[in-house]
Amino acid sequence: MLSSAPAAAIDSVHIAFSPEGLKLLNVIIALIMFGIALDLRVADFRRVVTRPRAVLVILVTQLALLPAMTFGLTQLLDIAPSVALGMILVAACPGGNVSNLMTHLARGNTELSVTLTAIVTAGAVLFTPLNLSLWASLDPGTRELLRVVQLEPLDMFFTIFVILGLPLALGMVIAARFPAFASRARGPFRRASMVFLMAFIVMAAAKNWSAFMLHLPEIFPIVILHNALALALGFAAATVFRLGARERRTATIEIGIQNAGLGLILIFAFFDGLGGMAYTAALWGGWHIVAGFILMSVWSRRPPREPAAGAPAR
């Protein structure tokens, strides 16, 4: 059994994150969502009707099974309630912003990845506060933290709507009305926004290096285990429901790459930067990119083996 530092110790760690830094992260996440939206069309949502099986399997795994599995994992580990709450929040967030790129380079189904990004990001306005409130309320320790901060799901709903929903809608409108501009802008815009995000993460890590190193041995193994199980859950769900090889890769990446940046925003907006939560989400934000790129580099060298025509996908 893995063990975390005592709650009092890890929650006393203050991660420096000024109001200006929080606003900057809000802007970066919003810009990333706007850049993603330049790639989206209303037709991406319509594919749920025309190709529902793969979409539904991955959505149910992402929105229902991942938070449930995460809650079960927190019950098996001897960890501080704030760390458990951080894990649940990460699992309740939508997929990470780099999942489309990783899926493409891993030779997965990029079109399916874009469809899932659109749906899960839009659905995060409802499902992130719902899953956090539901699963955190089932454990006395995490339930007490919710009570202390008096979390209002409607307030979180509004915050997510402003950060994710509005940029997504604006980007889709611009892509529909000005397709030539969207075509020219989407590549540079996405690359620039990701550079800004990585620069922000590096600067934040440098500013909080001593705090991160203090509890790294306790929290990092938990983050690695949680992320590995999320990746395995995506692959297993796609395998059980006999999705194709490209779809299995897509499911693995979509469910294993979470929007930890949004999680950090919510932690500082609603939980006053609670040490265990912020520490967990920050480590997730760095590690899931490393794990995703390792997986992507392996798959990029191995063409997916699809079944022969007329044979069932497996």
Tens of pLDDT, residues 115-166? 787 788 778 888 888 899 999 999 999 998 887 666 666 766 777 777 777 8
Selection from 171-175, 182-186, 302-306 with the highest mean pLDDT: 171-175
For the stretch 215-248, pLDDT in tens is 778 889 999 999 999 999 999 999 999 998 989 9
Across-strand partners of 46? Answer: none
Note the Cα 128 to chain centre separation in Å: 11
Domain encompassing residue 60: 17-299
**200, part of any domain:** yes
**245, part of any domain:** yes
**12, part of any domain:** no
For the whole model, what pTM was predicted? 0.79
Overall number of domains in the chain: 1
Q: Please state, in angstroms and as integers, the Cα–Cα distance from residue 2 to each residue in 7, 124, 213, following that order.
A: 15, 30, 18
**1, part of any domain:** no
pLDDT at 5: 46
- 145 close to 82: Cβ distance less than 8 angstroms: yes
Alpha-carbon gap, residue 218 to 50, rounded angstroms: 46
Q: Tokens 């951080």 — which residue? A: 86
- 292 close to 257: Cβ distance less than 8 angstroms: yes
- pLDDT band at residue 189, thresholds of 50, 70 and 90? confident
More confident residue, 114 or 264: 264
**Residue 217 CA neighbour count, 13 Å, CB half:** 2
- 95 close to 31: Cβ distance less than 8 angstroms: no
**117, part of any domain:** yes
**136, part of any domain:** yes
Mean pLDDT in residue range 167-185:
84
pLDDT at 188: 79
CATH of the domain at 129: 1.20.1530.20
For the stretch 31-55, pLDDT in tens is 777 877 777 677 666 665 676 888 8
